[in-house]
Amino acid sequence: MKQYFRVEESAYHAPNSILIIDDTLLDLHGAPQSLHIICARVLGISYPTFLRLARDQFGATLFGKRGFPIALFPDKNKAHQLADLLNKQTDLILSH
């Protein structure tokens, strides 16, 4: 399985982790301004629903009042679980 989504420590909110999209594996020309929306689209849900999923199922805290809020993960293992789900779904989408 390719790692389209990976987990890295947040540069601005350490020691929390964030999801990063590997744009060398995905052609993101014409993608929305906020690449965070891609996570929701891969799962076939809205961005607010994705944020609730990240918070309720994977322990994320939500950060940001202007623009697009982002999910920060205090537990890196939970962030990896969500990244694995996104990677599996992306593999499934791209295989069709």
pLDDT tens column, 1-43: 899 999 999 999 999 999 998 877 776 666 555 677 889 999 9
pTM value is 0.89
Distance CA 90, CA 22 (A): 12
pLDDT tens column, 50-64: 999 999 999 999 999
Among 58, 50, 63, which Cα is nearest to 76's? 58
Residue 75 tokens, joined: 């537990």
